Chains A and B, each alone.
Chain A
């Protein structure tokens, strides 16, 4: 599967690229926070950069979704194997032309030696590679999210402090207004020049203080707004990270469910093919030996019952198998539907084989 390996490598590169971009954004957010502490108010994370990262992540996810669908091609090999178990080879058909018994025994021998274990192992290994890829991406997303969230928590706390002092400053300003009005009223009715001068000095002091408070209010307001903008950006980034993490989880789940079901299903099918076709023959052969036995009488009775039991067992197990197969199909349909919802566009392209349009 050179094709599969090439695809894996391509995906690995894209994951690395996406992670680099993400790390860059997180670093920028952290750097901006550092500058905020120094009193700068510019934040240079533009929406365009976020979109750029998003685009990269989408590209990567599309590629991985591709990869998961590529596994279907890997599994196509299984159905060929099952078909071989069911039917006769060319040689067997040729022999069957002369002796149907010999042809049947050749097929039985082939069936006894047939195994799909290495194929199953291959399937598990391949899906494991993809899961690790996805898991790595998910871990990195969570790390980034953790960093930004810790940062945001501190910032929110700081903003709360700023807002609180803004409120108290505003309260102070509001409390000063009646004092000033009172003083002004007093000045307007005061006749004594000395007292009037003293009152005017008081008013000037109060006004200076009022102006200082108003200026403080402006500064605090600006700071609060900057912090708010910063928090907005951070939140957008956390949201985007969370979205990506959800996508990764959907991909991992789809893949794991698929693989789990495939392994169980293929294994059950092989087992049932081998069991049904061999058991019958083996008993027939051994019973020929037993028939000529001195205890033929007792054994015959036992075999009569045993054969009935065996038929019943076989029928029952067939029913189990059918129920099981149906459950598998239902489960697969559900997982597929969820997958399709999320990756409708890619699925459509894949189905139409319309790449590069």
Chain B
């Protein structure tokens, strides 16, 4: 079993030990509180609007809830047979594998059914006390039952970051006879195992407003979800959308990767970040670095293109990074990389000063979780 899996999914690792699994989730619990602070920081700099920050904040909160639910599910990992193990991607991700979220979606669909058949929290605790006092034994099975109950309760509560979070639309303003919308959606990318948020600024020249249009909106939603692959460049996604919907004009498309998370004790990494983390020798809870990438694609002008014999349609022409030729083709106007890390690893980073980190924005987590932006 392990042999076969090792061959297939080399970079997938399982957490066997109870304490290790709990430390892993504690780390993410802490990191997710910093994410919304960084978003607020970007808003202060004018890089994100108030609406965009709020949207992003909602996805970050959802992600934190998902992690909390998973931490209930795997609370008793390694304590008993059949308690399950968390599989996560330890190379260039650090996040749980996408399949964990898919399984969670299946569980969520049956959460109410499971909860109906389970003993209540008070009853389980009462039985635990009885077993501890009466049998002088650790009530592992009851503890597991309670952790599962809390897991299903978290699922029933909702508001989770799922493997696919379908597009939602937010009206921004009217420009002449057109409406300007912010369409946002998020997926948990199955290839890289990272949560990815998409923000699309859209001009709508249709007769009916997009959210009320039963003809276009469901189609547009399905189209965007089907195109949300990490392997596709922003240009490809935007071009395809522009072509398939003649009266929707994608003006700006942003893709935000919330990860990968590097940690010396959990993940395997190559390159400078590996040296930084090993040099830092940070204590538990301080040993991590989270990279956050924003890809941005902006339309620079519009061309009229003939469509059939009698009509014309607008086509957006996008600005591509003029320096893109030097490295890999990004298919975006600009790409910003940011790294969030605690003081110890930042100190190591500043001392080592590895090449390739100069144009990466750094956010340092100070005392009391304060975020200090660094150049």
- Are A290 and B317 CB-contacts (below 8 A) given A278-B240, A282-B235? yes
Q: Is there a chain B Cβ closer than 8 Å to A318's Cβ? A: no
Residue of A nearest to B10 (CB): A327
**Looking at the complex, which one of A113, A253, A305, A334 makes contact with B325 (CB distance below 8 Å)?**
A305
Q: Is there a chain A Cβ closer than 8 Å to B225's Cβ? A: yes
Q: Mark A318-357, 1 if CB is under 8 A from B, else 0.
A: 0000000001101110110000000000000000000000
Q: Which residues of A contact B106 (CB under 8 A)?
A: 121, 124-125, 128
The answer on a CB contact under 8 Å between A112 and B329 is no
Q: Is there a chain B Cβ closer than 8 Å to A260's Cβ? A: yes
Q: Which residues of A contact B325 (CB under 8 A)?
A: 301-306, 309
Q: Which residues of A contact B232 (CB under 8 A)?
A: 274-275, 278-279
**Looking at the complex, which one of A120, A261, A303, A305 makes contact with B8 (CB distance below 8 Å)?**
A261
The number of A-B residue pairs with CB atoms under 8 Å apart is 138
Q: Mark A271-309, 1 if CB is under 8 A from B, else 0.
A: 110110011001101100110000100110111111101
**Separation of A309 and B327 alpha carbons in the complex (Å):** 8
**Separation of A210 and B11 alpha carbons in the complex (Å):** 75
Q: Is there a chain A Cβ closer than 8 Å to B176's Cβ? A: no
Instruction: Give residues 1-47 of B contacting A (CB, 8 Å).
Output: 1, 3-5, 7-9
Residue of A nearest to B227 (CB): A112
Q: Is there a chain B Cβ closer than 8 Å to A201's Cβ? A: no
Q: Mark B307-320, 1 if CB is under 8 A from A, else 0.
A: 00000000101101
**Looking at the complex, which one of B9, B105, B223 makes contact with A121 (CB distance below 8 Å)?**
B105
Query: Chain A contact residues (Cβ within 8 angstroms of B): what range?
Result: 35 or more
Residue of A nearest to B327 (CB): A309
How many Å from the CB of A294 to the closest CB on chain B? 11
Between B5, B164, B222, B322, the greatest number of chain A beta carbons within 10 A of the residue's beta carbon is seen for: B5
The answer on a CB contact under 8 Å between A274 and B103 is no
**Separation of A271 and B225 alpha carbons in the complex (Å):** 13
The answer on a CB contact under 8 Å between A113 and B226 is yes
The answer on a CB contact under 8 Å between A253 and B226 is no
Between B103, B163, B235, the greatest number of chain A beta carbons within 10 A of the residue's beta carbon is seen for: B103
**How many B residues, CB 8 Å from partner?**
50
Instruction: Give residues 211-270 of A contacting B (CB, 8 Å).
Output: 253, 257, 260-261, 263-264, 267-268
Q: Is there a chain A Cβ closer than 8 Å to B102's Cβ? A: yes
**Separation of A179 and B109 alpha carbons in the complex (Å):** 84
**Separation of A38 and B250 alpha carbons in the complex (Å):** 86
Q: Is there a chain B Cβ closer than 8 Å to A28's Cβ? A: no
Q: Which residues of A contact B82 (CB under 8 A)?
A: 135, 138-139
Q: Which residues of B contact A105 (CB under 8 A)?
A: 243
Q: Which residues of A contact B243 (CB under 8 A)?
A: 105, 109
Q: Which residues of A contact B239 (CB under 8 A)?
A: 282, 285-286
The answer on a CB contact under 8 Å between B102 and A334 is no
Give 26 A-B contacts (CB < 8 Å), ordered by A residue.
Answer: A113-B244, A115-B225, A115-B226, A121-B106, A124-B99, A138-B81, A139-B82, A253-B1, A260-B5, A263-B102, A274-B232, A279-B236, A285-B239, A286-B318, A290-B317, A299-B320, A299-B322, A301-B325, A302-B322, A304-B325, A306-B324, A306-B325, A309-B325, A309-B327, A313-B329, A331-B5
